Structure 1
Amino acid sequence: MAITKKTIRSIVLLAAAGTVIFLIYKKIAVNKAEGEPAAPGRKGGSKTLLTDAWVVKTSQLDQTIEASGTLQSNEEVEVKPEINGRITHLYFKEGTSVRKGDLLVKLYDEDLKAQLQKLKLQQQLAKTTLERQENLLKINGISQQDVDVTRNQVSAYQADMEYTQTQLQKTELRAPFSGKLGLRNVSEGAIMSSASVITTLQQIDPLKMDFAVAEKYRNAIKNGDQVNFYVAGDNKEYKGSIYAIDPKIDLTTRTVKLRAIVPNSSSVLFPGSFAKVKIILKDLPDAMMIPSQAVIPGTRNKNVIVASEGKAKFVVVETGLRTESTVQITNGLQPGDTVITTGILQLKPGMPLKYNKIQ
């Protein structure tokens, strides 16, 4: 029995050894076929990687900035009373356009009118008294002090009348500018306070558009520059012009805020809409553009792999503007250079190159 187990063990060991020898032989054969070193200490050919390439050439590039913006009313105000009171009349309809100075709301004013009438009568009496006292003063029948007191009363009544007249004006709410009214929040008979919002008034022609760009573009943008933008749900391109630039750069986002004026005579644009903004700064006629995937980012520098005498060569480059699929090279390459665009992670300096596709 023991002899049988020993024989079986020997057969198993021989089979395992044969398998190992076969695998080693197969590996050596594959390495020779691919041109790699067959074993340490022996010389062999370098592996050739099949890659795609891009021939660098110059083309025209429109230098543009893209940003997100928000449309706003050119002027906007909440219609509120300055004094407390009861609404007696509403002279507007919701969602309609009004002109500057149009009467919108009237508050109860009978008490103020009565007070004004009372002040007028008191002033008239004071004026009559003043005339009599001035006649008496001519014959020394009254002191100058009494005349001065009466004259002061006449002036005080005049001041009270002007104040009451001002309060009467506050019972009439008029449109401060031409625009479009919003929804009405109250009804006739409602008791209003200075915090109550009756409606809103917005001037929507023209509109303002606020957006922000990176601080590096601050000196490239100036008042009067044209902006193009799209709004959600509308494929039409709209235009505007920059008229105000915030002098301060935001410390959190490192952006500068800009404001553009947008014509809206047809009232197709609405305040609060999101806008995708594009600013065309200038055209670059001789820009060198390569695919974005060809650039290898590093901790300090950016590199690309170029073909030099059929072998891979790493070159440090400087980049500029970007599009959706390409990036501008401002330094490090020349027109006619062949840049590798695929397999860049497997390539090492000096490796032979074989091209699958050249663009």
Structure 2
Amino acid sequence: MIKTLWIALLLTASLMGEEIYATFDVVARKEANLNLTTQGIVKHLNVDVGSRVKQGAVLLEIDNDDLVAGIDLAREKLKKAKIEEEFARLTYERYTQVKSVIDAELMDQHTLAYKKASATTSEAKASLRYQETLLEKTRLRAPFSGIIASRNIELGDSVVGASSLFRLISSPEVKLILNFDEKYLHSLKVGSKVRYRVDGQGKERLGSISKIYPSVNAKNRKATAEVLSTNIAPGLFGEAYILGK
């Protein structure tokens, strides 16, 4: 039923205006070359080419035993600091209740002790956060959900510099990059209907323009637009017809 309505709309529109021929390439809606800024030896390699991953998943982890130990130590220091701060707080509050009958210098000593204990706790918290940040930098996480398109690292390899370790692409979401004669650039608008067919596939699909690039390619005088689609492999190409005004 929906397909019938689409076809009816296209037939009606074609009577009102010309169809603009375009070619297209299929690319992932999102793609990223992933790397680490921290150097080290790969300890855990959790994905391979073709692996589907969720946003935030750990793809790779370099050796970080020293940082894990540092975090354990920082947690113990924070635990100790909190105990000492609590003791200093209780002592300060007890003396506050009787400060009118005790020596002012003694009250000042307990006030200072409480402030120092609080500062020590704050420093311990900051130290723990810093150690956790260093540890997190040894883990490479997926910035979005998708599929691993390429992998350039092996277990035991040394990660050095900012070389690309993985290429991650969104899946199954793709977009078609349409190229058409620049004279039609101002005849189109976002939402213009498009019918397209991937080369080598008999099935024709229907879509609409989601984005129009404002500039023209100076080399071939072609204008560019995008159509969102799904379940087409990036790297394929085809032909399309855009319904003009």
TM range (shorter): 0.7 to 0.9
**Partner residue in 1 for 2:39:** 84
**CA 100–274 in structure 1, closer or farther in 2 if over 3 Å, else same:** same
SS in 2 for 1:114: helix
- The answer (yes or no) to whether the contact 1:181–1:201 under 8 Å persists in 2 is yes
- Percent identity at matched positions? 27
**Partner residue in 2 for 1:140:** 107
**Partner residue in 2 for 1:169:** 136
- The answer (yes or no) to whether the contact 2:207–2:229 under 8 Å persists in 1 is yes
Equivalent residue letter for 2:236: S
How far residue 82 of structure 1 moved from its aligned partner, in angstroms, is 4.2
Rounded to whole Å, the distance in 2 between the matches of 1:143 and 1:61 is 87
Equivalent residue letter for 1:102: A
- The answer (yes or no) to whether the contact 1:91–1:105 under 8 Å persists in 2 is yes
Structure 2 residue 124 is matched with structure 1 residue 154: no
Equivalent residue letter for 1:162: R
Which structure 2 residue ranges, 5 or more long, are not aligned? 1-14, 96-105
**CA 250–91 in structure 1, closer or farther in 2 if over 3 Å, else same:** same
Greater helix percent: which structure?
A: 2
How far residue 156 of structure 1 moved from its aligned partner, in angstroms, is 1.3
**Partner residue in 1 for 2:11:** none
**CA 75–187 in structure 1, closer or farther in 2 if over 3 Å, else same:** same
Rounded to whole Å, the distance in 1 between the matches of 2:138 and 2:18 is 56
Q: How does 1:120-269 map to 2 (within 5 A)?
A: 120-134=75-89, 135=91, 138=95, 139-140=106-107, 142=109, 144-193=111-160, 195-246=162-213, 248-250=214-216, 252=218, 256-264=223-231, 269=232
Q: Which has the higher contact order (CA 8 A, sep 6+)?
A: 2
**Partner residue in 1 for 2:54:** 99
| TM-superposition CA deviations, 1:107-151 (whole Å, max 9, x none) | 222111111122122223333443454426835271644542332
**CA 127–99 in structure 1, closer or farther in 2 if over 3 Å, else same:** closer
**CA 218–94 in structure 1, closer or farther in 2 if over 3 Å, else same:** closer
**Partner residue in 2 for 1:280:** 243
Rounded to whole Å, the distance in 2 between the matches of 1:254 and 1:147 is 73
Rounded to whole Å, the distance in 2 between the matches of 1:227 and 1:161 is 55
**Partner residue in 1 for 2:6:** none
Rounded to whole Å, the distance in 1 between the matches of 2:197 and 2:229 is 12
- The answer (yes or no) to whether the contact 1:74–1:205 under 8 Å persists in 2 is no
Rounded to whole Å, the distance in 1 between the matches of 2:43 and 2:27 is 33
| TM-superposition CA deviations, 1:150-190 (whole Å, max 9, x none) | 32121011012122223323333333333221232111111
Equivalent residue letter for 2:76: L
| TM-superposition CA deviations, 1:68-97 (whole Å, max 9, x none) | 322110111223224223211112232233
How far residue 62 of structure 1 moved from its aligned partner, in angstroms, is 6.2
**Partner residue in 2 for 1:119:** 74
Equivalent residue letter for 1:190: D
Rounded to whole Å, the distance in 2 between the matches of 1:132 and 1:142 is 14
Rounded to whole Å, the distance in 1 between the matches of 2:18 and 2:59 is 50
Rounded to whole Å, the distance in 2 between the matches of 1:191 and 1:142 is 54
Equivalent residue letter for 2:28: S
Equivalent residue letter for 1:173: L
Equivalent residue letter for 2:153: V
How far residue 216 of structure 1 moved from its aligned partner, in angstroms, is 4.2
How far residue 276 of structure 1 moved from its aligned partner, in angstroms, is 2.6
Rounded to whole Å, the distance in 2 between the matches of 1:121 and 1:179 is 39
Rounded to whole Å, the distance in 2 between the matches of 1:236 and 1:124 is 65
How far residue 251 of structure 1 moved from its aligned partner, in angstroms, is 7.9
- The answer (yes or no) to whether the contact 2:92–2:114 under 8 Å persists in 1 is no
Q: How does 1:46-57 map to 2 (within 5 A)?
A: none
**CA 162–260 in structure 1, closer or farther in 2 if over 3 Å, else same:** same
- The answer (yes or no) to whether the contact 1:241–1:262 under 8 Å persists in 2 is no
Tell me how large the CA RMSD over aligned residues is. 3.0
**Partner residue in 2 for 1:298:** none
Rounded to whole Å, the distance in 1 between the matches of 2:145 and 2:92 is 58
How high is the TM-score relative to the length of structure 1? 0.53
SS in 1 for 2:107: coil
Rounded to whole Å, the distance in 1 between the matches of 2:19 and 2:59 is 46
Rounded to whole Å, the distance in 1 between the matches of 2:58 and 2:82 is 36
